[in-house]
């Protein structure tokens, strides 16, 4: 005979399950609304605007829909220059900053004197305004009394006009970019190193493994997830290089306008030229480049780990 209370019990379970699913949704609702309003909608709107040729922001009028804006930006030498400059910047800054940060994080992970002081010193640039730091670097690069040229003079190197000679503008930006990227990378890698079980190192030393072999056979493989994360974050950050140009070159893309980056080109199209369709097309292209690079890094990281 069927229990008369079983139906009520089932109904109670259904109500409880529904409530357990609805309640978290209410907690997530503010975040989801913010995500849709401030992230999803602007992206969709930018993509739509990128298809509107001769788009006028104030009136919302445009001549036609199509890929004309994309064709125009890829035919623009400044945009091509921006692609090349950004590519070179990413390909140099990200690996160099990661390698240097890994070395420093490994040293900071050891038992050394004044460990807290060094950790604070390497973290300080992260909490300092980029413009303020850029002004300091502008002084370091100064042709007449800059510290970098002063140090190079001890090695017999003539003063280099870092900021006024287009041949050295990119090198100056890359050096500044590496220094700026290192603090966060050091912190992330140091956190990853501290999560590695010390028993692995103890067992390796008992077996007679050398420090260099331990580093490449134990530290690097176990640090692979953290390295993958830092590479992805740094690639996204380096692809959007923009703020660093303002203090170094007085708001210009290099001394002879030869140091365009993708984001600076976007800024120039939007705020200076008022070519909103071209600016939107540039933002979509940048998003696509960052998305492809991120997916490639994730696939490479998975293959490396397994």
Listed residue (237, 260, 141) closest to 133, CA to CA: 141
Q: DSSP secondary-structure letter at 177?
A: H
DSSP letters spanning 198-214: HHHHHHHHHTT--HHHH
Listed residue (242, 255, 223) closest to 89, CA to CA: 242
Q: DSSP secondary-structure letter at 216?
A: I
Q: Is the dihedral of CA 150, 258, 264, 296 positive or negative?
A: negative
Which pLDDT value is given to residue 19?
A: 63
The CATH class of 76-305 is: mainly alpha
* CB of 51 closer than 8 Å to CB of 62: no
Query: Tens of pLDDT along 250-280?
Result: 888 887 788 888 989 988 888 888 888 888 8
Query: Tens of pLDDT along 224-257?
Result: 888 888 988 899 889 888 888 888 888 888 877 8
Residue 93, judged by CB atoms within 10 A of its CB (0-12, 13-18, 19+), counts as buried
Query: Tens of pLDDT along 83-108?
Result: 999 999 999 999 999 999 999 888 88
* Cα 99 from Cα 180, distance rounded (Å): 14
Query: What pTM value is reported for the model?
Result: 0.83
* CB of 51 closer than 8 Å to CB of 72: no
Q: Is the pLDDT of residue 8 over 70?
A: no
Which pLDDT value is given to residue 306?
A: 46
Phi and psi at 57, nearest 5°, equal -65, -45
Joined together, the tokens standing for residue 25 give 């949704």
Query: Tens of pLDDT along 173-198?
Result: 999 999 989 888 998 898 888 888 88
Q: What average pLDDT does the structure give for the chain?
A: 82
Domain boundaries for CATH 1.10.3720.10 within the chain? 76-305
Which pLDDT value is given to residue 97?
A: 94
Altogether, the residues listed in the chain come to a count of 306
């Amino acid at each position: 005979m069927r229990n008369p209370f079983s139906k009520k019990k089932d109904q109670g379970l259904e109500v409880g399950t529904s409530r357990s699913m609805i309640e978290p949704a209410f907690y997530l609702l503010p975040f989801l609304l913010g995500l849709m309003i401030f992230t999803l909608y602007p992206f969709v709107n930018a993509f739509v605007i990128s298809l509107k040729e001769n788009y006028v922001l104030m009136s919302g009028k445009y001549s036609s829909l199509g890929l004309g804006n994309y064709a125009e930006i890829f035919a623009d030498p400044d945009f091509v220059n921006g692609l090349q400059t950004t590519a070179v910047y990413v390909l140099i800054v990200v690996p160099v900053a990661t390698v240097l940060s890994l070395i420093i994080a490994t040293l900071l992970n050891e038992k050394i004197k004044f460990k807290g002081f060094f950790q604070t010193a390497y973290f300080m640039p992260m909490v300092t305004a980029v413009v303020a730091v850029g002004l300091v670097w502008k002084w370091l690069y100064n042709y007449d009394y800059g510290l970098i040229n002063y140090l190079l003079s001890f090695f017999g190197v003539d003063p280099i006009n870092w900021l006024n000679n287009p041949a050295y503008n990119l090198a100056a930006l890359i050096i500044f970019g590496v220094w700026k990227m290192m603090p966060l990378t050091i912190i992330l890698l140091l956190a990853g190193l501290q999560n590695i079980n010390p028993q692995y190192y103890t067992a390796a030393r008992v077996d007679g493994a050398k420090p260099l072999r331990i580093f490449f056979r134990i530290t690097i493989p176990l640090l692979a997830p953290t390295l993958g994360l830092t590479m992805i974050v740094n690639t996204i950050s380096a692809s959007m290089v923009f703020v660093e140009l303002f203090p170094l070159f007085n708001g210009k893309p290099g001394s002879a306008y030869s140091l365009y980056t993708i984001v600076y080109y976007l800024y120039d199209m939007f705020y200076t030229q008022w070519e909103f369709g071209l600016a939107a097309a540039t933002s979509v292209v940048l998003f696509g480049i960052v998305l492809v690079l991120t997916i490639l890094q994730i696939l490479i990281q998975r293959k490396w780990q397994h």
